[in-house]
Amino acid sequence: MHKVPQESALPEDFVLSFRSKLLDWFHLNGRDLPWRRTKDPYKIWVSEIILQQTQVVQGRAYYERFISELPNVEALANVSEDRLLMLWQGLGYYSRAHNLKYSAQKIMTEHGGDFPNTPEGVRSLKGVGPYTTAAIMSIAYDYPLAVIDGNVYRVLSRLLASDAPIDTTEGKRYYEEQADRFLDKSSPSDYNQAIMDLGAVVCTPRNPLCRSCPVQSLCQSYGTDLVELLPRKEKRTQVAQRYMYFYLYLHDDSFAVERREKKGIWKGLYQLPLFVSNSAKTPPSPPLEGWTVVDELVLPDHRLSHRLLHIKVLVCYSEPPVDTSSHNYEWIHTADHKEYAFPKPLRAFLDRYFAPSSPSLFDDEKQL
Ligand code: SF4
């Protein structure tokens, strides 16, 4: 593996050539995305927050729906929490939605509705880190600030054949310096979008398209094993396992739900009553008194960044019917479930379970 190249070892014409090849490629091949057709910092902010933890393919429809219903800061500041969560339902990482609304209210009260136009002002918005600040400032205002995200780490690491780890303070500083050096300060908006596109569609994590890469002739990893080995991480991410048992208490065409607390994953969303364990060996807790588990359905595992969720739904009936008012749940009609925002795995489950044509879906495999 190559050692980290010294900055002085990079000739200026290497940098100029990289910019020129990258921008030429981008102008012909850049992705046509709805948030690329605007300089409105509000819309760029919304798109960047959606894309923080969501793929472009999935985020696009959410962005268009969100902007069509909440076209400006004022509309977002005034939206109800339930409506906001419905717009966000399925995207995950719901603190992003809460932070957007919180920041929109702050822009209204502290800045008279004017979106901040300095790096410090943008960075002060809740949920906005250095990457999002650079993206908003460069794309909306042509401010020369280099973006660094997973795509940029990967492109620079392979381009320079650098084994500097991307998850240490020293390694990050190295890539920040390189990103700043490579940034085309006369065209920061196009340059930042170009390097992110290159990482997203050509220099991909696996099976990169090196043969059609516009910077292949400059790439220090091209044609070597380094392409698959870079970028390097020093620490391994620990993935915790969680075992979740949701109880579907069915009673008179209604079922019980509860609202999650406003912290942790899925904050503020509705869910079926839940029992969680860190171990597969811990059996689910018994259902409420008077209720019997009549079916057990296994949902597909749900992957979060640091957690793998193993999910089961325990379908419960009461015989004879119990007084539901004695339970501290909200009871919603089965026909109305789509009006409530649920976490993605539960939304998929409810859509199929209550679909009129598929009551026997679960009988075959007991798995959704
Ligand atoms: S040649 Fe391959 S490894 Fe190098 S930048 Fe292009 S896609 Fe990435």
Digit-coded pLDDT (tens) for 68-100? 999 999 999 999 999 999 999 988 889 999 999
Residue 265: the pLDDT is 78
Residue 155 Cβ inside 6 Å of ligand 1? The answer reads yes
Ligand 1: atom nearest CA of 209 is 7
pLDDT at 116: 97
Asked if 120 is an active-site residue, the reply is: no
* CA 222 – ligand 1 centroid, Å: 6
Active-site residue (options: 48, 176, 261, 319): 48
The model's pTM is: 0.75
Mean pLDDT of 200-208: 95
pLDDT at 9: 63
| pLDDT given at position 364 | 39
Is residue 191's pLDDT more than 80?
Answer: yes
Q: What is the mean pLDDT of residues 261-275?
A: 86
- Output 113 or 305, whichever has higher pLDDT: 113
Model confidence at 272, pLDDT cuts 50, 70, 90, reads very high
From residue 300, how far is each of 20, 273, 310, 349, 351 by CA, in Å?
Answer: 46, 19, 7, 10, 15
Give the max Cα distance, the chain: 81
Name residue 249's beta-bridge partners. Answer: 316
**Whether residue 104 has its Cβ less than 6 Å from ligand 1:** no
pLDDT at 123: 97
Which atom of ligand 1 lies nearest, measured to the CA of 210? 2
Instruction: List, for residues 337-363, the tens digit of each pLDDT value.
Output: 999 999 999 999 999 999 876 544 444
Mean per-residue pLDDT, 19-32: 95
| Phi then psi dihedrals of residue 243, to 5 deg | -115, 115
Tell me whether the omega of the peptide bond preceding residue 116 falls within 30 degrees of 0, making it cis.
no
Residues 6 or more apart whose CB falls under 8 angstroms from that of 247 comprise: 256, 272, 273, 274, 275, 287, 288, 291, 313, 314, 316
Question: What's the average model confidence in pLDDT over 147-170?
Answer: 95
What is the per-residue pLDDT for 61? 94
Place of tokens 């109800």: 80
**160 pocket-lining for ligand 1 (C-beta < 6 Å):** no
Give nearest CA residue, ligand 1 atom 8: 203
pLDDT at 305: 74
Counting from 1 in the atom list of ligand 1, the atom nearest the Cα of 215 is 6
157 lines ligand 1 (CB under 6 A): no
- Minimum-distance ligand 1 atom for the alpha carbon of 220: 4
107, pLDDT greater than 80: yes
What is the pLDDT, as a whole number, of residue 365?
A: 39
Give 367's strand partners.
298
In testing the pocket of ligand 1, which one of 151, 178, 202, 204 has its CB within 8 Å of the most ligand atoms? 202
Instruction: Specify the pLDDT at position 359.
Output: 46
pLDDT of residue 3: 46
CA–CA gap between residue 17 and residue 20 (Å, rounded): 5
> What confidence score (pLDDT) does residue 93 get?
86
Q: How many CB atoms lie within 10 A of CB 180?
A: 13
d(CA 178, CA 191): 14
Mean pLDDT of the chain: 90
pLDDT for the residue numbered 187: 97
Structure tokens at 230: 């870079």
pLDDT at 172: 95
pLDDT beyond 70 at 254: yes
* Contact assessment for residue 72 and residue 100, using Cβ atoms and an 8 Å cutoff: no
Cα–Cα nearest to 97, from 136, 69, 121, 126: 126
Calculate how far, in angstroms, residue 215's C-alpha sits from the geometric centre of ligand 1.
Answer: 7
Q: What are phi and psi of 283, to 5 degrees?
A: -70, 155
- Output the pLDDT for position 357: 65
Residue 311, judged by CB atoms within 10 A of its CB (0-12, 13-18, 19+), counts as: buried
Which residue owns the Cα nearest ligand 1 atom 2?
210
Q: What is residue 363's predicted lDDT score, i.e. its pLDDT?
A: 42
The residues, any chain, with a CB within 8 Å of residue 137's CB and separated by 6 or more, are 119, 122, 143, 145
Residue-wise pLDDT tens digits, 216-239: 999 999 999 899 999 999 887 778
- In degrees and rounded to multiples of 5, residue 237 shows phi and psi of -75, 125
